[in-house]
Structure formats: structure tokens, C-alpha cells
Amino acid sequence: MSNITINSLPAQTWNRLDINSAVVDTAEFTPYCDGGSTDNDIDIKTGMGEEFNSELSSVPVFKIENSGKAVVNDYIFTDNTGNARRDSISLSKGESMIYVQKFNTELSLGAFAVQTKIILDDNASFTLVQIQKMGANTFYNDIGAELGKESQFRLIQIILSDDSTYTGVRVTQNGDNSDFDSTVAYKAGGDGKFDINYIVDQYGKNTNCNIISNGVLYGNVVKTFRGTIDFKEGASGSKGAENEDVLLMDDTVRNKTIPIILCHEEDVEGTHGATIGKIDEEELFYMQSRGIGEKAVYALLADARIAAAASKIPDAETRDAFLASL
Amino acid sequence: MKKTQVGDIDRSLYDFRYEEKDSYRVENGLTPEIVNEISDKKNDPEWMRKFRLSCLDIYNKSRMADNWGPSIEGLDMDNIVTYVKPNTNMKDDWKNVPDDIKNTFEKLGIPQAERESLAGVGAQYDSELVYHNVKKEVAEQGVVYTDLESAMHDERYAKMIEEHFMKLVPPTDHKFAALHGAVWSGGSFVYVPEGVHLEIPLQSYFRLNAKGAGQFEHTLIIVSDNAYLHFIEGCSAPKYNVANLHAGCVELFVGKNSKLRYSTIENWSKNMYNLNTKRAIVDEGGTIEWVSGSFGSHVSYLYPMSILNGKGSRCEFTGITFAGAGQNLDTGTKVVHNAPETSSYVNTKSISKSGGISTFRSEVIVNPNAKGTKSSVSCESLMLDSASRSDTIPAIDVRTADADVGHEAKIGRISDDAVFYLMSRGISEAEARAMIVRGFADNVSKELPLEYAVEMNNLIRLEMVGTVG
């Protein structure tokens, strides 16, 4: 067990806001299953940062191969599995792959960690779908990706969390004309923390980045969303956008948001927007006038946000199964 | 690619200086002896002397955060003179102010502005006020506008000053608030009685002439219930090749259903470290409006803060920051919603050029009791070249579900579509680009009285040159 700092902002602010990073007591991490090798590890930056990477360094890495159709891995954590899993994906020039990770457990009050590292060569295209249903547990989800010229990385994260979830995503767009598109949808509640850290470093020319985060908070959860778009010098013609929309269901939740744009290049377009609050009164009135109670309205809206993200899952079987489960 | 050329701020109007003639200065550095010397010079009441020394203690024990904000490595407190008194006392007639000081303020247009459009003026030169006056008809309404030190010794106001001084910005707030508490000098006290609407503004102007010196003025404004005041402050200094320091403090108390507009045109020279603290607390139904233009300083830390403490209280913040060569300006605002039905609206712009660094930093906090709060923050940044930086770091912390909070930010260069649109209406490209950049700064200039808007526009002189690249 270690006390470490994760999900740090690259450009920090007032310390008393307690928003610059998260400090956690991690569990001891053991491999989810046999196999893999630490030789498969890739040396790239990830969203949770160096200390977390070190925590997992002894956990073997599985190299996920492109089979030509969607690769689906269902990680069901039980008493008979370990609690940590690491995957790496390297796509060659022009390769294309869809990878679905599902994280599930029936256990309670444990801690679990996954790490996914991705390298995309020129013109490669990669879609990563993560569906998280980890119940009342602490879940660490760390992602790092480096994008070559004209490569595309699409990330869809669907998070249903009843305790603490920490997610870190770091994407380095080295290649000109590379594209990163992310959709995060979540329903987070319970008594824990919901902590997200996105960092996108745009180095190449004409790179594009789009982050959308939509969710609902309930219970006593404390949520922190950190989204940093960093236009490096030389990234001319690049665009970056982040948008967050959070619905607060209960008065006991707490929402912290810090959408950052860092810019060292003139010829770029960066935008961010955040909307935080309760349901629009007219929308609520409309639903209630149709006989739907307030709690049910919020539940409907939460499911709608999740469904909207799920509808983007390119693998039909995964998509349909998930939508049916809602 | 067509590029936009924007001239640097023209500082020739401000970059003049006078020799310190027969002025009184304490030694460099910061010791209890120096603090006591300042206190003796001012004939402080005993509570203030003790307060100064306790602040020095807090200053020595505090440290600056090292994980955010521009570097202040170039600021060596051992080389800063914290008190420079010009060889004159405060006058209420410009005729009696020594020539060099009077000429300073004449060049800056202060006496003229007073004659034409102000209800009262305070002029501070280095560490002391050299001129203070308020129009008779304003004083007859019960408005008090005087230097803070006189008010502190005046039995009519002494208790009020003691009850309010550094209660809103305590010395424990940060290291330079503590420094201010230890060596503060000069500044104004304003009291607007209940029901009084002062339609014409009051102004304070701060000029730091002495090389290697600090200015630590304190402004305390109390606006009673159902009253209105517009207060304007301006500042400038000639440029030296050593550091100067400005660590002033502004505390504003806005009563029930009252409105206070606080406008600032900050134009310190590029050797200045501007570590200023401004805070307002607003009672039920009250409104604080900040209008802030930041054009000067080498390094700036400036975040006017509004505490909305009464039901239905409001805050509006309109600002522009222009960071040119050699400048690292970290500016923004903070709002705390601490009562129901409060609202805040923040609209800021920034321009970065020639290697300048502009950072917009903000916080909006909505406390659990602030039900029905609405808040909107909008910041827009214009980059004029790739040597410069522009960063946006806005933090939002919402602790109730019954609130609507929105934030948007945009960063980029001048839109080619907008230029094309204007050109298709017969406007030349150079003028089109000039219009767009002037319009970009319009959010602040339109909130100022005309004379100050003109001054602000004069600070941004534009040369639009189209180059075929």
C-alpha cells in the first residue's frame, strides 16, 4: 500500500482549492491473471502520472493483438483473480482496430486498477471502448496514448460508479493531422470520489482534439473533472475543444471542474465550456405534467446521457447488449 | 498568411521621473526597526503599531506557493525601500503642491479630470498622499473622502477604521498581504451614507516615482445601505532597471441594496512587481461591479474577489489584460456565492504579444447555502504571435444542486472570416483588423467614463500592417 499523488494538473492553481491533484492510499496490486510480461510495457506518459505508473510496474503487460474484428475483453474481478491488469496496443501504419474493455465485479470494498497504453503509427485508427460497472469499489483507470501522423484515437468511456473512481487519460499528439475524440458518460454516486484527469498535448500541426463529458452525480460523491488542452509551439492550425455538462441530482454532491487551455501557438482555435447544475425547470415541468415524478425524471436523464454515449460504440454486439441492460 | 501588427503600449506619457529632492526614506529591507520607524512617522495609534509588528511576524513565517504563478525571483525584499516620503504634506489645493509633484500629476491629467468630471481626487506620490480634495457639495451630502491615516486619527471615524481595517483581507491571507499590513502607507477612506447616490466618480491616483521603492497604499470604502458610488483608481510609474514593488490592498464593504463600481486602469512600468489584493463583501441586494484594465507591470498577481454574502447580491467583473514583451501577467477574479439567489457575471479578455505571457486564473465557489445561484464566466484570449503565451485556468466548485453555473472560454487569433466580412463592406484590411482588435477591448472601455475610455484606447495604439507571407 502506498500514499501517492495521481491525476496532477500540468498547470496548477491555488492549493487551498484542493483541485491540483488527488492523493490516494493505493492497495497492493496483483496481476489479474497469469501471462503477459513487463517487457511488453511501453514507455509513454499516462494520465495518472509517474507515481501510479511505478505502483503498477511489476504487473505484467498483455500485448493486445489486432484480430481484424473488434477485440472484446470482459474483465470480471472475483476472489480468484488479482486486482490489476495492464494492456498495451501498438498499431502499425494504416492499421485499424476496435478494442472493448468491460470491467465488472460483484465484490465490495476492494480496490482495482487497469492501465492501457497505446501507440499509433501514421494513419492508424484505434477505438477504445471502456464500460465500467465496478459497484462499490475503488477503481483506478489509467490511459496513455501517442499518436502518429494522421492517426485517429477514439475513446468512449461509460462509467457507472457507486464508490470511488479515478480516471487519468493522457494523449500526446505528435503527428500532424492526428485526431483525438473522447466521449465520457457517467453516473457517479455513493460516498466516494469521482476524479477524472484528461491531458492532451498537441504538438503536431493541424491536430484536432474533442472531449465531451456528460454525467449525473448523486449521493455524497465529490467529483473533480480536470481537462487540459495544451497547444505547444508549432501546433499551428490545430483545434481543441472540451465540453462538460453535469447534472446534480442531490444537494449533497460536490462538483469541481477545471477546464484548462494552455497556448503557446498563435494559429490555433481552443474552446471550452462547462455547464453545471440542476435540470432545466421547463424540462422538469414538461415531464411532471406527463405523470413522471422528479426522481424518475432524473433517472431517465441519467440513462439518456449514458445511452447517447453508448450509441457511439462501433461494435454492434457490445452496443446492443449494453443498451438493453440500461 | 496576413499577420496583424499591434504596436506596443506607448509608455512615453508615463515614463518620466523627478529626482527625489529632500525626501525621507527608510533603509532597504524589512526589520522590526523599520516597521517601528514607519509607525513613528505616522504617529500610529498603539493598536496599529502592534498590528504592523504582528503582520511582520506573519510575513516572516509565510512562504509563497512554489507550484503556480509567475516567478518573483527578481524581487529581493532586502533591496526594496518600503517607505519614501516626499518633502511635502498633503494639500487640498494644487497651487500648494510642490512643482515637480504637481507637474507629474498635470502630465497625467489628474487636475484637469478633477475640474471636469470628478467629485473628489486623492493623489499619492511614493508613500504619501500629496493631495486630497472633495467637492463641497459632495461633502455636504455626508460623503467622507479623505486619506486613511487622517481618518484613523479622527475620532469620528477611528473606531470604524479599526473595526474594518484588514478584516476582509487578513494578513494571514498570503505573504504579501502580511507585508502590506506591516508597512502600509497612504491610501483613501471613503464612506457613503445611507441613501446617498454619488453620480460623479471619486478617483485616487497612485504614482511611484522613487527607484527601488515599494508602494503599499490601503483603500477602505464603506458604502451604506441604498447608496451608490463609482470609484476610479489609476496608477503608473517610470521605468527603472531595478525592481519596484506594489503590494496595495483594497477592501470594499457594500451595504444592502447598494451599488459600488470600482474601476482600475493599471499601468505600472515594466520593472514593477504588482502583488495587489482587492476584495469586496456584498450585503443583501447589493452589487459590486469591477472594471479592470491591466496594461503594465513586469509581473502581476491580481484577482479582485467578491464575497456575495447577502441574499440576492450580485457581482459583475469586466476586465482586459494586455501582456507585451517582458510581461508575465497572472490576472483574473474570484467569486464566492455565500447566500441564496446570488449571481455573478464575469467577462474578460486578454491579448498577448511579443513574448508576453497572460494567464487568466479564476475561482467560482458556490456554497451549500447559496441556493438559486446563477453564475456565468466568459474569457476570451487573442494571441498575436507564437512567441507569446496565453493560458486559461478557471476553477469551479459547486456544493449545492440548486445552482446554475456556466463557463466558456475561447482562444485564438483574429478570425479571417470576420476580416473578410468587413472587407466585403468596403473597409480596408488594415482598418478591418484594427476595428476587430479595438472591438475586442471594448468590453472594458465601454464601462468607463468617456475620458478614461479615451485614455485606455490611447494605451493601445494600433498599427495595422498587412504583409503577404
In the predicted model, what is the mean pLDDT of residues B285-304?
Answer: 95
Q: State the burial class of residue A313 (Cβ atoms within 10 Å of its Cβ: 0-12, 13-18, 19+).
A: buried
B33-82: pLDDT as tens digits:
999 999 999 999 999 999 999 999 999 999 999 999 999 999 988 888 88
Measure the CA–CA gap between A72 and A58, rounded to whole angstroms.
Answer: 25
CA distances from B460 to B294, B323, B337, B454, B455 (A): 11, 11, 35, 10, 9
> Cβ of A11 and B391 within 8 Å?
yes
Q: Does A205 touch chain B (CB under 8 A)?
A: no
Nearest partner of B217 among B173, B251, B256, B243, judged by Cα? B251
What's the mean per-residue pLDDT of chain B? Answer: 88
B369/A contact by beta carbon, under 8 A: no
pLDDT at site B469:
25
| Residue-level pLDDT at B456 | 66
A17 shares contact with chain B (CB less than 8 Å): yes
Q: Do residues A292 and A259 make contact, with C-beta atoms less than 8 angstroms apart? A: no
B386 touches chain A (CB under 8 A): yes
Beta strand segments in B51-150, E: 84-85, 120-125, 128-134, 144-147
Helix, strand and coil in chain B, % to nearest 5: 25, 35, 40
Residues with Cβ within 8 Å of residue A320, at least 6 apart in sequence: none
* B357 touching chain A per CB within 8 A: no
Q: Does A249 touch chain B (CB under 8 A)?
A: yes
Per-residue pLDDT reduced to its tens digit, B88-121: 888 888 888 888 788 788 877 888 878 777 888 8
Q: What is d(CA B265, CA B284) in angstroms, rounded to the nearest whole number?
A: 29
Q: How far is the alpha carbon of A14 from chain B, nearest alpha carbon, in Å?
A: 7
pLDDT band per the 50, 70, 90 thresholds, residue B338 = very high
Strands annotated E in A174-298: 179-188, 193-202, 208-217, 222-231, 238-248, 254-263, 268-277
**pLDDT 10s digits, B248-266:** 999 999 999 999 999 998 8
pLDDT at B1: 43
| Whether B67 and A20 lie within 8 Å, measured CB to CB | yes
The nearest CA of chain A is from the CA of B373 a distance in Å of 10
Q: In this complex, do B383 and A271 lie within 8 Å of one another by their Cβ atoms?
A: no
Closest by Cβ to B412, choosing from A19, A268, A277: A268
Band of the pLDDT at B282, cuts 50, 70, 90? very high
As a whole number of angstroms, the distance between CA B70 and CA B13 comes to: 28
> Residue B211: which pLDDT band, with cuts at 50, 70 and 90?
confident
Q: Do B396 and A270 touch (CB under 8 A)?
A: no
Task: Check B392 against A13: CB less than 8 A apart.
Answer: no
Per-residue pLDDT of chain A (326 residues; tens, 9 = 90+): 679 999 999 999 999 999 999 999 988 999 999 999 999 999 999 999 999 999 999 999 999 999 989 999 999 999 889 999 999 999 999 999 999 999 999 888 789 999 999 999 999 999 999 999 999 999 999 999 999 999 999 999 999 999 999 999 999 999 999 999 999 999 999 999 999 999 999 999 999 999 999 999 999 999 999 999 999 999 999 999 999 999 999 999 999 999 999 999 999 999 999 999 988 888 889 989 999 998 888 888 888 999 999 999 999 999 999 999 88
Q: Looking at beta carbons, which residues of chain B come within 8 Å of A19?
A: 395, 397
φ/ψ of residue A52, rounded to 5: -70, -40
CA dist B15 to A98, B216, B270, B282, Å? Answer: 63, 21, 10, 38
Asked if B393 lies within 8 A of A266 by C-beta distance, the reply is no
> Where does A67-221 show beta strands of DSSP type E?
71-77, 84-91, 96-105, 111-120, 125-133, 138-147, 152-161, 164-173, 179-188, 193-202, 208-217
Q: Which residues contact B464 (CB under 8 A, 6 or more apart)?
A: B4, B5, B6, B429, B430, B431, B433, B434, B437
CB A232 within 8 A of CB A202: yes
Between helices B450-459 and B110-117, what is the axis angle to 10°? Answer: 150
Q: Across the interface, do A261 and B408 touch by the CB < 8 Å criterion?
A: no
- Per DSSP (E only), the strands in B37-160 are 84-85, 120-125, 128-134, 144-147
ipTM of the shown complex: 0.95
**Residue from B348, B353, B293 nearest B323 by CA:** B353
pLDDT: is B213 or A57 the higher one?
Answer: A57
Distance (Å, whole) CA B170 – CA B128: 23
List CB contacts of B215: < 8 A, sequence separation 6 or more: B124, B126, B127, B186, B206, B208, B244, B245, B246, B247, B248
Q: Cβ A255–B381 below 8 Å, yes or no?
A: no
Residues of B in contact with A255 (CB under 8 A): 396-398
In whole angstroms, what is the distance from residue A226 CA to residue A41 CA? 26
Rounded to whole angstroms, how far apart are CA atoms B180 and A173? 46
**According to the model, what pLDDT value does residue B454 have?**
66
Q: Is A148 touching B (CB cutoff 8 A)?
A: no
Contact B393 A257 (CB under 8 A): no
Cβ of residue B399 closer than 8 Å to a chain A Cβ? yes
Query: Do the chains contact at A17 and B395, CB–CB below 8 Å?
Result: yes
